[in-house]
Structure 1
Amino acid sequence: MSGLLSFSADLVRGSAAVKTQDSGLTARLALDEATKADAYSIRHASYLSGGYIDPMPGGLFSDADDLKPNSKSVVVYKWGRPVASVRMCVLDHTPGLEGWDEIPASRIFPEEVAQLAASVGHGRPPKLTEINRLVRHPDFATDYELVFVLYRFVGFFVAEERSDMTLSCVRRNHTPFYKRLHFEYVAGPRRYAGVKFETNLMTCRNSRYDSVLRDIPMVDTGSGPQNTYAGLLRGETVSVF
């Protein structure tokens, strides 16, 4: 994860007044090449500014997971400029489903992710969603509104996929923030693929989502119109509520 989550405790509890309706924010799912390039350029700028990668050709940072069917990235725009992005990768062991059997976390923490998947007890194969490549452009490094927006879209996609739990490979200095989101430490630290920092594996079972909403209600997907999310899945540019 990139360096975007150093808030005060009051802001984390959602006490700051965030108003998106007049802020010029829109979002789009990275389905076309132009939107994908926007996501990769934000990643490159964010990681490069933190010293976590070396400069790459074209100023774009992508990896093989971006090409897999179990990967979705959202790009947030402010007055038309790409300013933030997040990727969700889904691990789904449904028989016959190709390209959904691996996420970045399962390569870094293979035994731990396998144990988490095995711990899911219900009548269908387990499904785990990993949050990764959560970044803001360095010009917007203090725009905390963008973080709430990104996590609201994460919450929507987790619910849409009916995932059993959410995973994230978290930089050590961001661990306290994720604990506020009711994530629990699993293992680490270990080097995350493609970047120059180590991460801890953390997880939040989605049965605890109500607790997250009590602490940070601004990430609640129920507080925005559902047709916004439907439009996003169709590849439309949607206004951020």
Structure 2
Amino acid sequence: MTGLQAVTTNLIRGAPLSRKRSGSGLTARLALDDETKADAYGIRHRSYLSGGYIDPQPGGLFSDADDLQPNNRSIVIYKHRRPAASVRLCMLDGQAGKTAGEIPARRIFPEAVARLAAPRRDGRPVRLTEINRLVRHPDFVTDYELVFVLFRFVSFLVIETDADMMLNCARRNHTPFYERLHFSYVDGPRRYAGVKFETDLMACPRERYARLMADIPFLATNDNRRRAYAGLMKGETVPVFAEA
């Protein structure tokens, strides 16, 4: 069993993350300003370069055209003020029109995403959120708990934006992890944009959110967490844990 699998299993069994080891000094920030964006792009570059998934980029930063779009948000996790991990959320809003809210998954898996984004039987447009660019700085590559800290904020933003479904283009060796988070296989494998690896398209619809939160309460969003993370949407730095 890998370290990531072990942490997942323990969380599903109800064991909390070790705050003594992980909670102290952990903060989060939405990348709304240039400095935080540079931190996100710098973590991506170091992570993908260390894995051989990209070639060296100018300035040691890895970003793409999607980062410039208003339907994209990146979160940076800091550990004792050091940029440690990051994730990006890209929203496809069916209500905004066919050309609005482009996401990488739709370019890579156009037919599959079109099916998932089709209006419901009652005609209500579907809102999809793709989770991508989930990375840790190489100095924290064995800190598996950072992955769940990232997903804690992913779940917060998914709930806050009322997304009907979460999508992820997962590397083949990561699919068991996403299956534990109630994602299911949709299509693939296909080469992901800008990196040297193939991915499977996986999806977790709204109907499974409650089961996910019940299995892993650490990821659940409640009123206390909404209050604690309210400043995140304004570009403020927030503690991962209330006592941080």
Q: Show the 5 A alignment for 1:75-224.
A: 75-95=76-96, 99-100=100-101, 102-118=102-118, 120-222=120-222, 224=224
Secondary structure of 1:221 counterpart: coil
For each residue in 1:25-72, what CA deviation from the matched residue of structure 2 results, as whole angstroms up to 9, or x when unmatched?
A: 111100000000000000001111111111111110000000001000
TM-fit CA distance, 1:197: 0.3
Query: Which residue number in structure 2 is paired with residue 34 of structure 1?
Result: 35
Give the TM-score of the pair, scaled to structure 1. Answer: 0.91
Q: Show the 5 A alignment for 1:4-83.
A: 6-8=4-6, 10-11=9-10, 13=12, 15-20=14-19, 22-83=23-84
The separation in 1 between residues aligned to 2:50 and 2:129, in whole angstroms, is 27
The separation in 1 between residues aligned to 2:36 and 2:13, in whole angstroms, is 30
Amino acid at match of 1:159: I
Give the TM-score of the pair, scaled to structure 2. Answer: 0.90
TM-fit CA distance, 1:95: 4.2
The separation in 1 between residues aligned to 2:226 and 2:126, in whole angstroms, is 26
The separation in 2 between residues aligned to 1:168 and 1:128, in whole angstroms, is 10
Gaps of 5+ in 1: none
**Taking structure 1 as reference, are residues 134 and 155 closer, same or farther at Cα in structure 2, changes over 3 Å only?**
same
Contact kept in structure 1, 2:31 and 2:37, CA below 8 Å: yes
TM-fit CA distance, 1:99: 3.9
The separation in 2 between residues aligned to 1:228 and 1:81, in whole angstroms, is 21
For each residue in 1:185-221, what CA deviation from the matched residue of structure 2 results, as whole angstroms up to 9, or x when unmatched?
A: 0000000000000000000001111111222221112
**Taking structure 1 as reference, are residues 59 and 65 closer, same or farther at Cα in structure 2, changes over 3 Å only?**
same
Pick which of 61-70 and 5-14 moved more. Answer: 5-14
**Taking structure 1 as reference, are residues 6 and 16 closer, same or farther at Cα in structure 2, changes over 3 Å only?**
same
TM-fit CA distance, 1:121: 3.8
Q: Which has the higher helix share?
A: 2
Pick which of 83-92 and 227-236 moved more. Answer: 227-236
TM-fit CA distance, 1:7: 2.6
Superposition RMSD in Å = 2.1
Gaps of 5+ in 2: none
